[in-house]
Structure 1
Amino acid sequence: MTASTRVLLVDDHATMRTGFRMILEAAGVDVVGEAGTGREAVALAAQLRPDVVCMDVQMPDMDGIEATRRIVAAGTAAQVVIVTTFDRDDYLFSALDAGASGFLLKNAGPEELVNAVRVVAGGDALLAPEVTRRVIERHARTTPTPAPAASEVPLTDREAEVLQLLAQAMSNSEIARALFIGEATVKTHVSNVLLKLGVRDRVAAIVYAHRHGLA
């Protein structure tokens, strides 16, 4: 985490924003703004150009799902992490469909919030452990055609290792530490894995790994 990571906090409770600000600033994150409604969030995201938006769901004026959709549609570089009290499937899947890069529950510890910001700022996706399985199951149900058998995909040994770690919902930096390789190398391996599997994203790769007993 570096001080150049710029975060916008969005929550209709000022005390919650204050708590998040204290946690993030203590970790060296630059909190560049706060918003109490979805409409304020959309306007400030366009004005401040943060790297990460920590977004509540239930807010007056415009909810966090619609705000996320508008921020992502605007084409800014901001990555959105939904941070909510409610562990609900409709919030989870609507947020992901809207383009959120992460989903975290408010009962997560301070270090989990900091890690979420770090992970999505680095271009990875992050899901709370409580919801990862539900995303995998839903994605598996809605995938129209099965992925090719593991024996049909010419993954190198290293790519297979990366896929196994992806299946554990590890970020690129976590995979790099586990395999004692550089993060840029991990990104290359992940791209190759997605290409060879013929899948669009990391979640689909996780589904593949679970379907083929690689997780």
Structure 2
Amino acid sequence: MATQAHHESKIKLLNAALHVIRAKGYAATTVEDICHAASVTKGSFFHHFKSKDEMAIAAAAHFGAMTEDFFAAAPYHQPQDPLDRLLGYIDFRVAILVGELPDYTCLLGTLVQETYSTHPEIRAACDKGMSTHIAVLVSDIEAAKQCYAPEATWSAESLGYFIQSVLQGAFIFAKAKQTADVAHESLAHLRRYLEALFPLNNKRKEES
């Protein structure tokens, strides 16, 4: 029972960190903020983490594991056609732009913007999480490229990073505008761009 309670209090802290950091930013977030959001004591925090930075690294890994499971179960994986899966990924990202800003913006993007030059271990944790997500997406991009754009000179990996760059930029503007509208519009443009990258698919649609 004590082990389970120990684990539960740590998960509470990590989940609280995901929300608070996305809402306030890393620099403005205090240990007290996270403890209050998690309804645990400051003593409990330091029982699990030596410092706020150590907690941030753990939170990045926790966020990565949660999102990996979340996206692995998403319906866009079901189509047999890899391009349908890729476009379905964009549609899914649009569909989950709901709730308050901390609910749909990216913890890793938020963290790395603030810490890239001052906290190398946090930066590395964010890079690992984002790169892992891109690597999963790249497999569908490569398969779609082989089917519909085999002569294209761009790489599947570069397109994966471009897609995530649009997403992260959309999150930034959603914060600036305090609305998801700009993110919806950006992803609609991204979808149209992706469709244009695969000319054989466009030809197939014209012939059908």
Fold conserved (TM > 0.5)? no
Q: Which has the larger radius of gyration?
A: 2
Question: Which structure exhibits the higher relative contact order, with contacts defined as CA atoms closer than 8 Å and separated by 6 or more residues?
Answer: 2
Tell me the TM-score normalised to structure 2 length: 0.32
Tell me the TM-score normalised to structure 1 length: 0.31
